[in-house]
């Protein structure tokens, strides 16, 4: 075609122009056939992965939903300078996560002496076997490259050796180096891709080490569970986000019905999971208060680090927020004034000025809590619109690659529809109230 183009440009005759058009059409046909062939092979590969229950099937689906992910080839240094070399970039990430995961401003607390209890008994093979059987396949391994499938394929002899290793770690108080080593993978959240703080670190840990830690967690949970305040629903059995969403919705719904104002503060803790003051956790366990903030009872909803403080007046809410922030500071944690926001449910516009450390928190008319949009009017119309839009976006992102693919069976398409589209559309639907507008939309 290059020859034809050159001839058409140097010899502008009707014959040359016609030859160029024919070559262009022929090229378009070849490209179209190649694209069609690639899409057919893609559909056949997806169908094969689906039929063989391969993890690649869902990996491909997730990739199609997310689209092309851009990578940052440069990052800002600690002083704001732009780093471009690979060595400088790796060094900056190392520096960032070391500062983030090893804070130096947390209070030092002397660990209590260990007491004999049932928790201190040796680890049984039955405990280890049960944990191994519950491991999910297809998960990324840690630095030792041991995958869940390896552990799940262990026979009785292999499980006995793993149990023996866990008991050595339990009795000695030390674990193998691989168990204590994590591979941190930064995942982008939002904002400038060159800013390290806009990434969330995911730590890949050793699977045998996870088995050991889960055995310990199971033993400790019965002792800790009664001490956790009732408002906390994060990482607790038989509780989830829906409990908090439904409770908050009922509070707002009832308050609106009886014209009672509700002042809310959606609190964000700076890097909560990364700054867990482990020394404070040791100090808190002997006390009957568990993870309560001092001796104060705060009207709140808590799901892990997502906190909502509730009060009937701005003054009461400021008082509760002040106590909460003070207890967090004492434990080496801080309230993020840039991400924490206030909102008031009332039939009239009411100002709510909240301060933390002299900084005023922004007041908003709507806030997305645990994935659901709450408004100052207590209505769910905007949330329903969001759900419809999110489901439509899912359909658009997968239309060409899934919906119209003849090579993909109807059974596979239906599974994707039920596993992705329906949950996206109906998340939080338990809170929806059928009013006139949604009824007309349906």
Considering the chain, what is the average pLDDT of its residues?
81
Average pLDDT over residues 247-268: 90
Residue 243 has pLDDT above 70, yes or no: yes
Phi, psi of 353 (to 5 degrees): -95, 105
Which pLDDT value is given to residue 288? 35
Which pLDDT value is given to residue 118? 57
Which pLDDT value is given to residue 293? 28
Which pLDDT value is given to residue 330? 82
- The answer for residues whose C-beta is within 8 angstroms of residue 320's C-beta and 6 or more apart is 265, 298, 299, 300, 309, 311
CA–CA separation, 438 vs 383, rounded Å?
A: 11
Which pLDDT value is given to residue 280? 55
Can you read off the two tokens belonging to residue 28?
């378009």
Give residue limits of the domains in the chain.
2-53, 75-224, 232-238+248-371, 379-442
DSSP, residue by residue, 336-400: -TTT-EEEEE-SS------EETTEEPPB-SEEEETTEEEETT---HHHHHHHHHHHHHHHHHHII
The DSSP symbol for 85 reads: S
The CA–CA distances, whole Å, from 109 to 101, 281, 282, 338, 440 equal: 18, 9, 8, 30, 60
Average pLDDT over residues 131-147: 90
Q: How confident is the model at residue 159 (pLDDT cuts 50, 70, 90)?
A: very high
Residue 397 has pLDDT above 70, yes or no: yes
Which of 100-114, 243-257, 285-299 comes out lowest in average pLDDT?
A: 285-299
Overall size of the chain counted in residues:
442
Q: Decide: 310 and 255 in contact? Cβ < 8 Å.
A: no
DSSP, residue by residue, 386-410: HHHHHHHHHHHHHIIIIIT-TTS-H
Decide which of 296 and 364 is more confident.
364
Which of 86-90, 258-262, 286-290 comes out lowest in average pLDDT?
A: 286-290
Strand locations in 55-115 (E): 75-76, 82-83
Q: Decide: 21 and 386 in contact? Cβ < 8 Å.
A: no
Q: How confident is the model at residue 193 (pLDDT cuts 50, 70, 90)?
A: confident
Q: Three-state DSSP class for 298?
A: coil
Which pLDDT value is given to residue 126? 95
Average pLDDT over residues 45-56: 71
- The answer for residues whose C-beta is within 8 angstroms of residue 112's C-beta and 6 or more apart is 282, 283, 285, 286
Can you read off the two tokens belonging to residue 59?
């990996």
Q: Decide: 262 and 312 in contact? Cβ < 8 Å.
A: yes
Q: Three-state DSSP class for 109?
A: coil
Residue pointed to by tokens 């947390």: 106
- The answer for residues whose C-beta is within 8 angstroms of residue 106's C-beta and 6 or more apart is 275, 277, 279, 280, 331, 332
Can you read off the two tokens belonging to residue 252?
């707002």
Average pLDDT over residues 161-189: 92
From the candidate CATH numbers 1.10.3470, 3.30.2010, 3.30.70, 3.30.1490, the one assigned to the domain spanning 232-238+248-371: 3.30.70
Which pLDDT value is given to residue 389? 94
Average pLDDT over residues 190-202: 86
Which of 26-30, 108-112, 192-196, 376-380 comes out lowest in average pLDDT?
A: 108-112
Helix (H) or strand (E) holding 265: strand 262-267
- The answer for residues whose C-beta is within 8 angstroms of residue 234's C-beta and 6 or more apart is 302, 303, 304, 305, 306
Can you read off the two tokens belonging to residue 161?
């050796």
Q: How confident is the model at residue 277 (pLDDT cuts 50, 70, 90)?
A: low
Q: How confident is the model at residue 323 (pLDDT cuts 50, 70, 90)?
A: very high
DSSP, residue by residue, 155-220: -HHHHHHHHHHHHHHHHHS---TTTT--EEEEEE-SS-TT-GGGEEEEEE--HHHHHHHHHHHHHH
Angle at alpha carbon of residue 181, lines to 92 and 280, rounded to 5°: 85
Which pLDDT value is given to residue 294? 33
Which pLDDT value is given to residue 291? 26
């Amino acid at each position: 075609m290059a020859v034809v183009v050159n001839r058409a440009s140097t010899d502008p005759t009707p014959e040359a122009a016609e030859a160029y058009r024919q070559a262009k059409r022929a090229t378009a046909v070849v490209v179209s056939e190649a694209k069609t062939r690639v899409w057919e092979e893609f559909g056949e590969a997806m169908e094969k992965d689906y039929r063989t229950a391969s993890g690649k099937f869902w990996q491909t689906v997730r990739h199609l939903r997310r689209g092309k992910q851009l990578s940052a080839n440069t990052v800002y240094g600690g002083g704001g300078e732009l780093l471009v070399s690979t060595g400088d970039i790796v060094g900056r990430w190392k520096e960032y996560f070391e500062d983030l995961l090893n804070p130096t401003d947390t209070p030092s607390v002397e660990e209590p002496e260990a007491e004999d209890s049932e928790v201190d008994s040796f680890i049984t093979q039955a405990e280890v076997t049960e944990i191994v059987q519950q491991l999910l396949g297809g998960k990324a391994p840690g630095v030792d490259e041991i995958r869940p499938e390896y552990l799940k394929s262990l026979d009785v002899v292999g499980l006995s050796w793993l149990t023996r290793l866990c008991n050595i770690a339990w009795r000695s108080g030390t674990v193998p180096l691989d168990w204590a080593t994590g591979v941190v993978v930064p995942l982008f959240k939002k904002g400038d891709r060159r800013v390290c703080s806009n990434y969330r670190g995911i730590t890949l840990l050793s699977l045998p080490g996870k088995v050991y830690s889960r055995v310990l967690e199971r033993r400790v949970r019965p002792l800790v569970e009664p001490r956790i305040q009732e408002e906390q629903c994060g990482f607790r059995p038989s509780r989830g986000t829906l409990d908090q969403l439904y409770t908050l919705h009922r509070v707002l719904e009832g308050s609106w019905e009886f014209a009672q104002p509700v002042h809310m503060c959606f609190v964000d803790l700076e890097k909560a999971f990364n700054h867990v003051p482990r020394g404070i956790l040791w100090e808190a366990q002997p006390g009957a208060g568990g993870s309560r903030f001092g001796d104060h009872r705060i009207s709140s909803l808590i799901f892990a680090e997502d906190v909502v403080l509730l009060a009937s007046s701005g003054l009461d809410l400021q008082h509760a927020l002040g106590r909460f922030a003070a207890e967090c500071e004492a434990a080496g944690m801080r309230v993020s004034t840039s991400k924490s926001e206030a909102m008031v449910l009332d039939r009239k516009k009411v100002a709510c000025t909240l301060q933390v450390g002299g900084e005023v928190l922004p007041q908003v008319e709507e806030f997305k809590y645990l994935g659901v949009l709450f408004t100052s009017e207590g209505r769910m119309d905007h949330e329903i619109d969001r759900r419809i839009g999110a489901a439509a976006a899912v359909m658009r992102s997968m239309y060409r690659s899934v919906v119209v693919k003849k090579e993909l069976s109807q059974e596979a398409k239906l599974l994707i529809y039920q596993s992705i589209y329906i949950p996206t559309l109906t998340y939080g639907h338990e809170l929806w109230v059928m009013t006139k507008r949604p009824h007309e939309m349906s």
